[in-house]
Structure 1
Amino acid sequence: MASHTVTVGFDLDMTLIDSRPGIKAAFEELSARTGTFVDAELAITRLGPPLEQELAHWFPDERIPEISDLYRGLYPEYAIGPTPALPGAREAIEAVRRAGGRSVVVTAKHEPNAKLHLSHLGIVPDAVVGWLWAEAKAEALREYGATVYVGDHTGDIRGARVADALSVAVPTGPCGAEELRQAGADVVLEDLTAFPAWLECHLDGESTGS
């Protein structure tokens, strides 16, 4: 591989981790605690945006700050254990390290809970930045000098574009491959298992993807 350094950003939910089982469990406990029905099965089909957007479907606006705090407090107990890494996640982070680069996870998730997921799964990026969604992700991508951002959602593509980073998309979340392409992804990989080979080609100046 050519001797280059690179900083690669990664989204978390449905890019590095399959957070659906954990989030479902957390929403079910939230529903039990509040006595308010939350369709957890529906909620996990639209992961990506900030928690508050999902809670707005189930709770009045004036309760969302309170309910958000409750959910985030429940999250470590109910959501961390059931959540697995997605195929290729650890290998993708390691591929960046082998290339002499840095990896930064940039996510809309509550940052302490994002760090708990990564620690639990033994995924070790160089930095983790939470509380950023869509175009706002560009703040962290620019701060860390990321030239590539990997995500599963059209919001991730928008963040990459604002940061002038190459958008690499994986259809492992709520958005299909064609939707990601139409949203402007520069590269669409089947999943992260394809990322190490793509990165090697990219750093050698041979941009590949579909």
Structure 2
Amino acid sequence: MLWNVDLTLVDVAIVTRDAYAEAFRVVTGRPLVKLAPALGRPDSEIVFETLAVNGVVAEDAHLPRFLSALAMAFADRRKRLAEEGRMMPGARDALKAVARLDGVVQTVLTGTIKSNAVHKLKAFGLDKYVDFDLGGYGEEVYPKATLLQVAQGRAKQRTGTPFTAANTVVIGDSTRDVQAAKIGGAAVIGVASGRSMASELREAGADLVLADLTNASEVVAAVAGLTAPVDRKAG
């Protein structure tokens, strides 16, 4: 079970933009004028576009330096997350309820770099439900569909069980999340809480679409209906 983070579980856009501005200043010595829109993309992709739209010619060293600076800037601002951000309605109860399903392990599939994803969920007490070691993150320079397959590989290595669309579910709020899941090999639940409307999520190929996460029983039923249990003790 892989959760998208931003606008699915939490919304910390103000702090994220501020951290990006600081990282941009550290790396380029210039103020950030325009931040490339997230649109469900990984941080690595956002960094390159942000450099370009601000007139900076990207070099090989830019990405690792920027991601390192972004991690530091975000960590420095982590105490602001709960104050200036919000947990999406129903997120905690949904995570808690899904955690009770037999054989389910929850992780994240996110464009956010790993350290920042941990900060985002920890700020709202959601980290206790997530196995971060199995996730796919924005510093891994792959399309999101490939990140899904990377995460499935990590889960297989842990459990000895192959993961396919029959026993893998992605939950996300954007059409990019849906497309990545379909390409990467997973069932997908769209949540119309963020970037995309319910109709857009359905058109993109979501197996199920929820208005939000406020009905935990509905979330659990959706996950259970799309997966076959995996034995945690396998392997």
- Report the TM-score, using the length of structure 1 for normalisation: 0.79
Q: Which residue of 1 aligns with 2:146?
A: 136
Report how far residue 170 of structure 1 moved.
1.2
Report how far residue 31 of structure 1 moved.
Answer: 5.2
Distance 1:37 1:117 in 2: 23
The answer (yes or no) to whether the contact 1:87–1:192 under 8 Å persists in 2 is: yes
Which residue matches 2:159?
Answer: none
Partner of 2:42: 50
C-alpha separation in 2, matches of 1:80 and 1:126: 20
Deviation (angstroms), 1:36: 3.1
Structure 1 residue aligned with 2:89: 87
Task: Indicate conservation of the 8 Å contact 1:153/1:175, yes or no.
Answer: yes
Unaligned runs of 5+ residues in structure 2 are 156-162, 227-235
Question: Aligned letter for 1:91?
Answer: D
Rate the CA distance shift 1:64–1:137 in 2: closer, same or farther, 3 A.
same
Displacement of 1:168 after TM fit? 0.4
Change in 2 beyond 3 A, CA 1:185/1:31: same
Deviation at 1:184, TM superposition (A): 0.9
Secondary structure at 2:107 match in 1: strand
Q: Does 1:60 align with 2:41?
A: no
After superposition, what is the alpha-carbon deviation per residue over 1:125-152, rounded to whole angstroms, capped at 9, x for unaligned?
A: 3412223642113221454345211011
Aligned position for 2:75: 76
In 1, Cα distance between the equivalents of 2:39 and 2:79? 16
Q: Counterparts of 1:14 and 1:118 in 2: how far apart (Å)?
A: 12
Is 1:170 aligned with 2:169?
A: no
Which deviations, in whole Å up to 9, do the C-alpha atoms of 1:83-127 show, x marking residues without a partner? 322111111111112223321112121112211222221112341
Q: Which runs of 5+ in 1 are unaligned?
A: 1-7, 206-210
2:129 corresponds to which letter in structure 1?
P
Q: Distance in 1 between matches of 2:199 and 2:5?
A: 21
Task: Return the TM-score normalized by structure 2.
Answer: 0.71
Asked whether 1:16 is paired with 2:9, we answer yes
Query: What is the one-letter code of the residue matched to 2:98?
Result: V
Structure 2 CA distance for partners of 1:112 and 1:30, relative to 1, 3 Å: closer
1:120 aligned residue: 123
Give yes or no for contact 1:137–1:160 (8 Å, CA) kept in 2. no
Provide the aligned C-alpha RMSD in A.
2.6
Sequence identity, in percent?
26
Please state whether the residue corresponding to 2:182 is helix, strand or coil. Answer: helix
1:5 aligned partner? none
1:61 aligned partner, one-letter code: A
Pair 1:77–1:202, CA change in 2 (3 A): closer
Residue 150 of structure 1 aligns to a residue in which SS?
A: strand
Q: Tell me the alpha carbon deviations over residues 29-49 of structure 1, each in whole angstroms, 9 at most, x when there is no partner.
A: 345553233335xx4x53421
Q: 1:71 to 1:156 in 2, by over 3 A?
A: same
Q: Answer yes or no: is the 8 Å Cα contact 1:46–1:174 preserved in 2.
A: no
